[in-house]
């Protein structure tokens, strides 16, 4: 059995930004701190300026961000409860929870209230998965069940707040509740990942029923 203590900590507050600034904010891909300041504009700088000194001094800090224009019912990412940045160095490509080579920590923020990230919080056990099977495909419905029976608590990420979590924190993207703009940024440390310092040029949106989307 696996036991995960899924927790978040809500930290600093970010200012509001008009839609014009949200939709024009450059998107980061695998950037170090220096390039995040260089490539980013007002939203990125506001996030970085609120990060604690301990995070800013992390030697392996990596930043990623995305901007989405969403319509009601669209997903900004593939849905399903999962953990971020668990090493995938097993032969079958699934997350390595037993002999993890690192233990990632994350700080994220959202601006825009149309589509919050959903967290599932609490301390709960999950079964072993056979080699070659997809962990999150099996665990996702178990997270949903544990939310329904009260073992885990569903909490939506508030807008304009920095949220701290780690590699044991269950979360997923959910459908947009209304039309709107969404900016997401995540800082990650304790992975040893090497930055490539790129700007993200495009993002996808996902539909529950693709043939009904247009």
Q: In the prediction, which pLDDT does 184 show?
A: 98
For residue 31, which of 53, 48, 7 has the smallest C-alpha distance? Answer: 48
Rounded average pLDDT over 83-101: 91
Q: In the prediction, which pLDDT does 207 show?
A: 82
Mean pLDDT, the chain, whole residue set: 94
Rounded average pLDDT over 89-103: 90
Q: Any idea what DSSP says for residue 164? A: E
Whether the pLDDT of residue 21 is over 70: the answer is yes
Q: How confident is the model at residue 212 (pLDDT cuts 50, 70, 90)?
A: low
pLDDT top residue among 41 and 91 = 41
Rounded average pLDDT over 87-102: 90
Asked if 161 and 12 touch (Cβ cutoff 8 Å), the reply is yes
CATH code at position 13: 2.60.120
Q: Bridge-partner residues for 62, per DSSP?
A: 188
How many domains are contained in the chain? 1
Rounded average pLDDT over 51-64: 96
State pLDDT tens for residues 117-170: 999 999 999 998 888 889 999 999 999 999 999 999 999 999 999 999 999 999
For residue 30, which of 206, 205, 204, 191 has the smallest C-alpha distance? Answer: 191
Q: How confident is the model at residue 194 (pLDDT cuts 50, 70, 90)?
A: very high
Q: In the prediction, which pLDDT does 213 show?
A: 47
Q: In the prediction, which pLDDT does 210 show?
A: 58
Domain membership of residue 80 as a residue range: 2-212
Sequential DSSP letters for 25-53:
PPPEESB-HHHHHHH--HHHHHHHHHS-H
Per mean pLDDT, which range of 21-25, 43-47, 77-81, 108-112 is the poorest? 77-81
- How far apart, in Å, do the first and last CA atoms of the chain sit? 44
């Amino acid at each position: 059995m696996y036991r995960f203590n899924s927790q978040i900590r809500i930290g600093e507050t970010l200012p509001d930004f008009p839609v014009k600034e949200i939709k024009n904010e450059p998107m980061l891909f695998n950037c170090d701190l220096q390039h995040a300041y260089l490539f980013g504009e007002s939203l990125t700088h506001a996030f970085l300026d609120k990060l604690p000194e301990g995070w800013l001094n992390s030697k392996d800090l990596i930043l990623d961000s995305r901007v989405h224009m969403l319509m009601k019912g669209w997903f900004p990412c593939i849905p399903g409860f999962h953990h971020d940045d668990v090493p995938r160095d097993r032969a079958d490509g699934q997350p390595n929870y037993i002999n993890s080579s690192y233990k990632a920590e994350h700080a994220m923020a959202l601006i825009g209230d149309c589509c919050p990230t959903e967290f599932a919080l609490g301390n709960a056990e999950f079964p072993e998965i056979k080699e070659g099977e997809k962990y999150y495909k099996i665990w996702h419905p178990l997270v949903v069940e544990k939310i329904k029976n009260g073992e885990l608590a569903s909490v939506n990420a508030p807008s304009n707040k920095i949220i701290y979590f780690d590699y044991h924190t269950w979360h997923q993207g959910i459908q947009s509740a209304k039309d709107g703009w969404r900016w997401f940024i995540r800082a990650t440390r304790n992975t040893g990942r090497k930055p490539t310092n790129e700007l993200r040029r495009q993002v996808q949106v996902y539909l529950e029923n693709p043939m009904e989307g247009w």
